[in-house]
């Protein structure tokens, strides 16, 4: 998951190089980002 | 003699013994006269296994409100089939614990496999499937053939990993070219040697080519899609950092809305670290 946070567009394209980005599921996965966890400390 | 997937597995069986407790429990499941005590007796003959199972059923992954202290109680709560799939999962993870970290990061391998297992189960639930524990196991074991290759053909496996990483091939294409067969064929041979269920054999063999599934087309399609999903995030990796190609017909077969994909991946991200830690440290 750390990799995802620091991944450049080029690196992501390289990771998806065996897939067809026109396929709806692949397009969604290519653009998907996990929500950033809320690390706000408790009061 | 030319090496084949089957001969490699036959050669490796001395190193990777069959999951005998799983087989004995599976026989009991088929017996209508068997009782919970019979299952518990089989599991309790292996105290290390019993301890691992109790740690897993008491983990946040299951989230039961009170402590489960005995195997009999665990069987009552999660059922014999679910528990037996956990037996198979933990036995396999234990059997391949000796692979050197210089070849592959095993924590990352199992994180990918566990993410695939959890995702496959959630997709199966969304599809309205029953007995979805088998999809968890199928997701967990889909790359089991890779482990035989890492263990018995480490130099060739290293060459295939390197080729897939720096070339234009998928890992299974690199394995085919360098070794002559790929991890799905080795996994199939191992699953047959271990007498695992037919649907599991089919899923392990065809998870990269779901159109070739023989007996469990939906199970194969689910694990194929789950593998693509968790490779895309990514949650760990199993030797190849690339996202494998998707067969769009497999996704169509599931009949699901795309909106479910982010929901499942987000939920997996919240549970994965905890389950991985529990499964790897027990």
- Where a domain ends, among B45, B76, B95? B95
- pLDDT at site B87: 93
Confidence (pLDDT) at B213: 96
Indicate the burial class of B69 (C-beta count within 10 angstroms; 0-12, 13-18, 19 or more): exposed
pLDDT digits (tens, 9 = 90+) for B173-195: 999 999 999 999 999 999 999 99
B31 shares its domain with B120: no
B25 and B8 belong to one structural domain: no
Q: Is A17 on the interface with B (CB under 8 A)?
A: yes
Measured in Å, how far apart are chain A's first and last C-alpha atoms? 28
- Regarding whether B174 and B63 lie in a shared domain, the answer is no
B242 shares a domain with B224: yes
Contact A28 B244 (CB under 8 A): no
- B54 and B12 co-located in one domain: no
Give the DSSP per-residue string, A20-34: -TTSHHHHHHHH--P
3-state DSSP call for residue B237?
Answer: coil
Q: Number of folded domains in chain B?
A: 2
Count the Cβ atoms, other than its own, within 10 Å of residue B113: 28
Both B12 and B23 in a single domain?
no
| Interface-testing mutation among B262, B270, B274, with chain A (most A C-beta atoms within 10 A) | B262
Chain centroid to Cα B247, Å, comes to 20
CB contact under 8 A, B225 and A20: no
Contacts of B246 in chain A (CB under 8 A): 19-20, 23, 25-26
- Going by C-beta distance under 8 Å and a sequence separation of 6 or more, which residues neighbour residue B117? B89, B135, B136, B137, B138, B139, B140, B226
Contact flag B261-A29 (C-beta cutoff 8 Å)? yes
Mutate to test the interface with A, among B243, B265, B276 (most CBs of A within 10 A): B243
For residues B22 and B147, give the distance between their C-alpha atoms in angstroms, rounded to a whole number. 19
- pLDDT in the model for residue A35: 83
Q: Domain with B239 in it: what CATH number?
A: 1.10.3210.10
For the stretch A1-43, pLDDT in tens is 444 557 899 999 999 999 999 999 999 999 999 887 665 555 4
Q: Which of B29, B63, B95 is the last residue of a domain?
A: B95
Looking at the fold, whether B52 and B187 belong to one and the same domain comes out as no
Closest CA to B57 of B105, B90, B23: B90
The per-residue pLDDT for B240 is 82
Cα torsion at B132, B133, B137, B138 (round to 10°)?
A: -10
Residue B35 CA from chain centroid, whole number: 28
Q: How far apart are CA B271 and CA B159, in angstroms?
A: 34
- How confident is the model at residue B222, as a pLDDT? 98
Question: Based on the domain organization, do B107 and B50 belong to the same domain?
Answer: no
B142 and B230 within one domain? yes
CB contact under 8 A, A18 and B265: no
Mean pLDDT of B254-276: 95
State phi, psi for B211 to the nearest 5 degrees. Answer: -65, -20
Q: Do B266 and A35 touch (CB under 8 A)?
A: yes
Q: How confident is the model at residue B200, as a pLDDT?
A: 95
Of A3, A23, A28, the CB nearest to B248: A23
- The domain of B52 spans 17-95
Domain boundary residue among B44, B75, B95? B95
Residues B210 and B220 in one domain: yes
Verify whether the Cβ–Cβ distance A17 to B242 is below 8 Å: yes
Asked if B175 and B163 touch (Cβ cutoff 8 Å), the reply is no
A28 touches chain B (CB under 8 A): yes
ipTM: 0.89
Whether residues B144 and B36 fall in one domain = no
Q: What is the pLDDT of residues B33-68, one digit of tens each?
A: 999 999 999 999 999 899 999 999 998 888 899 999
Same domain, B62 and B11: no
């Amino acid at each position: 998951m750390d990799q995802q946070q620091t991944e450049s567009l080029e690196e992501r394209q390289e990771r998806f190089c065996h897939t067809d980005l026109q396929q709806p599921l692949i397009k969604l996965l290519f653009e998907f980002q996990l929500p950033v966890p809320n690390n706000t400390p408790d009061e | 003699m030319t090496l084949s997937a089957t001969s490699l597995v036959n050669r490796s069986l001395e190193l990777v013994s069959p999951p005998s407790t799983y087989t004995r429990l599976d026989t009991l499941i088929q017996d209508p006269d068997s009782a919970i005590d019979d299952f518990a007796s089989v599991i309790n003959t292996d105290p290390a296994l019993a301890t691992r199972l109790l740690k897993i059923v008491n983990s946040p992954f299951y989230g039961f409100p009170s402590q489960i202290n005995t195997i009999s109680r665990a069987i009552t709560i999660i059922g014999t089939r679910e528990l037996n799939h956990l037996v198979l999962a933990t036995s396999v993870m234990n059997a391949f614990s000796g692979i050197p970290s210089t070849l592959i990061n095993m924590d990352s391998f199992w994180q990918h496999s566990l993410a695939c297992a959890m995702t496959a189960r959630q997709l199966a639930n969304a599809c309205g499937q029953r007995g979805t524990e088998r999809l968890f196991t199928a997701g967990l074991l889909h790359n089991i053939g890779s482990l035989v290759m890492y263990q018995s053909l480490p130099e060739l496996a290293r060459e295939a990993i390197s080729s897939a990483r720096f070339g234009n091939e998928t890992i299974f294409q690199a394995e085919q070219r360098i070794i002559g067969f790929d991890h799905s064929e080795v996994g199939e041979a191992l699953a047959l040697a271990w007498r695992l269920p037919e649907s599991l054999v089919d899923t392990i063999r065809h998870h990269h080519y779901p159109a070739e599934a023989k007996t469990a087309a939906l199970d194969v399609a689910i694990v194929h899609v789950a593998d693509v999903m968790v490779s895309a995030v990514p949650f760990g990796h199993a030797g190849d950092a690339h996202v494998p190609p998707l067969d769009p017909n497999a996704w169509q077969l599931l009949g699901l809305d795309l909106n479910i994909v982010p929901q499942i991946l987000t939920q997996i991200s919240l549970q994965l670290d905890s389950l991985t830690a529990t499964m790897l440290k027990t």
